[in-house]
Amino acid sequence: MAIGFIGAGRMAQAMARGFISTGVIKAQNITASDPDPRMLRFLKNLGIATTLENTEVVDRSKMIVIAVKPSIVSKVLKEVKDHVTMDKIMVSIVAGVPLSILEENLPPDTRVVRVMSNIPVTVQAAASVISMGAGALPDDSELVRELLQCIGICEEGSENLLDAVTGLSGSGPAYAFTAIESLADGGVKMGLPRDLAIKLAAQTLLGSAKMVLESGKHVGQLKDEVCSPGGTTIAAMHTLERAGFRASLINAVEIGTLKAIELGQQKKKEAIEQQKLEESLEELDLEQD
């Protein structure tokens, strides 16, 4: 299947590389566009067709991934709208931008899928959740899920979950990287060489995450099994609890979610203002006629 990326930044590069390295899509079946030729260079080196024209991506692809920043998504969709036909699936990975806004900027009944994924697509370990637009066909859900499952896990859910997904797993890698860096800092403070400390911290998060996903045990039980009575871990856990470790993470997910909601509301406000502007221009035209 021919896939296209509009916007060739970090997420598009990571997804394209994931599709190619898992063999699910061949490089010659991928096209990517970006106004910045430097962003296209990486994809070109993978054997992907690149262009400065977003419309060319739509023309050449059956599934088009919109991978631009939220601020320009409406402008980009308007630009390609006339090239979007019923045989194409438009997949947005843009944070915060609701299906309603994506659909308003595309022809009626366009097959639209909204996705929230995360940067571990780079290593085929993404956490993605998809939500189907009104015009999407039942097979589209299966197709997009199958594709995303090649580069990590993928669940389907209703759209009202996606902002919380953004606050948790979309932004979550940044929290995890900071946790790894901080654990390593602790190791360095206590005398470990930096490279060993980073390796141990990263492997500790990886191994713990694997146990949560594979053991079937409750996370609280897994934590309890590390805490020996009167031991080192429970002493360290007490310090974390006193410092508000859990509350900090809960707050981070809450704030990330609220920011995604704010982005969506901003987009809806902009769409209403744009519609009002177009209506007043039409009235003005009629008066002049």
Ligand X SMILES: NC(=O)C1=CN([C@@H]2O[C@H](COP(=O)(O)OP(=O)(O)OC[C@H]3O[C@@H](n4cnc5c(N)ncnc54)[C@H](O)[C@@H]3O)[C@@H](O)[C@H]2O)C=CC1
**Which residues of this chain interact with ligand A1CAB, rule CB under 6 A?**
95, 166, 170-171
Q: Find, among 183, 166, 167, 129, the residue nearest to 251 by Cα.
A: 167
Q: Does 91 bind ligand X (CB under 6 A)?
A: no
Q: Which is nearer to ligand A1CAB, 110 or 128 (CB)?
A: 128
Give residue for tokens 């994809």: 43
For residue 6, say whether it is annotated as part of any ligand binding site: yes
For residue 160, say whether it is annotated as part of any ligand binding site: no
| CB count in 10 Å sphere of residue 202 | 17
Q: Which of 48, 67, 90, 168 binds ligand X (CB under 6 A)?
A: 67
Q: Does 76 bind ligand X (CB under 6 A)?
A: yes
For residue 111, say whether it is annotated as part of any ligand binding site: no
Q: Which is nearer to ligand A1CAB, 13 or 171 (CB)?
A: 171
- Applying the rule CB under 6 A, the residues between 157 and 176 that interact with ligand X are 170
Q: Which does 72 bind (CB under 5 to 8 A by kind): ligand X, ligand A1CAB, none?
A: ligand X
Q: Which of 2, 3, 4, 7 binds ligand X (CB under 6 A)?
A: 7
Assigned token pair, 249: 């993470």
Part of the chain binding ligand X (CB under 6 A), chosen from 89-97, 131-139, 194-202, 235-243: 89-97
243, exposed or middle or buried, with CB in 10 Å at 0-12, 13-18, 19+? Answer: exposed
Q: Which does 4 bind (CB under 5 to 8 A by kind): ligand A1CAB, ligand X, none?
A: none
Q: Does residue 3 contact residue 61 with C-beta atoms inside 8 Å?
A: yes
Q: Does residue 118 contact residue 127 with C-beta atoms inside 8 Å?
A: yes
For residue 7, say whether it is annotated as part of any ligand binding site: yes
Part of the chain binding ligand X (CB under 6 A), chosen from 114-122, 152-160, 188-196, 201-209: 114-122
Q: List all residues 6 or more positions away from 59 whose beta carbon is below 8 Å from its beta carbon.
A: 83
Instruction: Compute the Cα dihedral for 211, 216, 218, 224 and give only its sign.
Output: negative
Secondary element (H or E) of residue 3: strand 3-6
Q: Which is nearer to ligand X, 110 or 117 (CB)?
A: 117
Q: Does residue 145 contact residue 156 with C-beta atoms inside 8 Å?
A: yes
* Long-range Cβ contacts of 16-22 (<8 Å, 24+ apart): 16/43, 16/46, 16/48, 17/46, 17/122, 18/121, 18/122, 18/124, 18/126, 18/150, 18/151, 19/147, 19/150, 19/151, 20/46, 20/47, 20/48, 21/124, 22/124, 22/150, 22/151
Q: Does 15 bind ligand X (CB under 6 A)?
A: no
Q: At closest approach, how far in Å is the CB of 12 from ligand A1CAB?
A: 13
Q: Which does 35 bind (CB under 5 to 8 A by kind): ligand A1CAB, ligand X, none?
A: ligand X
For residue 8, say whether it is annotated as part of any ligand binding site: yes
Q: Which is nearer to ligand X, 110 or 118 (CB)?
A: 118
CA distance 225 to 170: 29
For residue 9, say whether it is annotated as part of any ligand binding site: yes
For residue 67, say whether it is annotated as part of any ligand binding site: yes
**Binding residues for ligand X, total number by CB under 6 A:** 26
At residue 12's C-alpha, the angle toward residues 94 and 171, to 5°, is 50
Binding residues for NADPH: 54
Binding residues for NADP(+): 6-11, 67-70
* Interface residue list for ligand X (CB under 6 A): 6-12, 33-36, 39, 54, 67-70, 72, 76, 93-95, 117-119, 170
